[in-house]
Copies of this chain bind each other. A is one copy, B any other.
Amino acid sequence: MDFKKLHQIEPGKSVKLKSIETKQGGPFKNKAEAVEFTADRNEKIRDLQYRMFVEQKQSLLIVLQAPDAAGKDGLIRKVLGQMNPQGCRTYPFKVPSEIERAHDFLWRIHQCTPATGMVSIFNRSHYEDVLVVRVEDLVPKKIWNERYEIINQFEANLVAAGTTILKFFLHISPEEQLERFKKRLDNPDKHWKLNTGDYAARDKWDQYREAYEDAIAKCNSKQSPWFVIPADNKWYRDASVAGIVHETLTQMDPKMPPVDVDLDEIRALYEREAAEQRS
């Protein structure tokens, strides 16, 4: 199954999110099959990530964008966060702090891009500066409208430095979002996630959709692609993202570096000491 091909938006083309079904199951007959696939891919991802960490030649940046309750946290917990934490960091981008606002919008982002061998996971990102900022009218159109090109140049710079970029939009229906909000009410452990602003954003669903469509269409290239992930089924969301990350790491093909020490010499040293211990 080629999940990349299945969910990648073709560069240069516009995208109509309404025409993409939010509830899909892909090739899986049922949830159990998808869960098994995800577990298998998680293991393979860890192995490839280890090789990339040791190889020290390339890096991976994963950008997550989504409406509230679409499942970014769950995806991190069940798939992306399963990577070895020594080579992987998660960065949440919330409302900018005073210091962050005193800089250009990419300043705080750039500090979190992955070093060689590393994976960065962005929970929200610089795309908020053409999404919430646009819909809530936080800066004039002239400003946010220039940002698409600025983002493209920024991402091209990262790619040129050896970073592979994957951008995921978790696509849920407003009905599914409402269901999930309701479930949060019934689970005291999720009450902290409730805030009255979430619900207000539902009134602007169409405006957000348009802002996403523009961001995806205008900042989409073969080197820095967007994927629209049908996310009403959590198990399909996890499986398809695991599939795409696995396909990507496989293409990156990280290799263990050649040995730069004399193995025989070291072996002789060890054997000598072990012999001394025994005698």
Contact = CB atoms under 8 A, between A and B. Distances in A.
Contact of A54 (B192, B266, B269, B274): B192
Interface in A171-217: 175, 178, 181-182, 185, 188-189, 191-192, 194-196, 199, 202
A162 interface: no
Interface string A240-279: 0000000000000000110101010011011001100100
Work out how many copies of this chain go into the complex: 2
Contacts of A266: 181, 185, 194, 196, 199
Interface residues of A, number: 43
Contacts of A96: none
Nearest to A182: B270
B181 A270 contact: yes
Interface string A98-123: 00000000000000000000000101
A269 B189 CA distance: 21
Residue among A83, A196, A277 with most chain B CB within 10 A? A196
Contacts of A191: 256, 259, 263
A239 B261 CA distance: 34
B86 A90 contact: yes
Contact of A175 (B90, B175, B277): B277
29 contacts: A54-B192, A73-B86, A76-B85, A76-B86, A77-B86, A81-B86, A83-B85, A85-B85, A85-B88, A86-B92, A86-B123, A178-B270, A178-B273, A182-B267, A182-B270, A182-B274, A185-B263, A185-B267, A188-B256, A191-B259, A191-B263, A194-B261, A194-B266, A196-B261, A196-B266, A199-B266, A199-B269, A199-B270, A202-B273
Given A76-B85, A83-B85, A85-B121, 6 more contacts: A76-B86, A81-B84, A86-B123, A175-B277, A189-B256, A192-B256
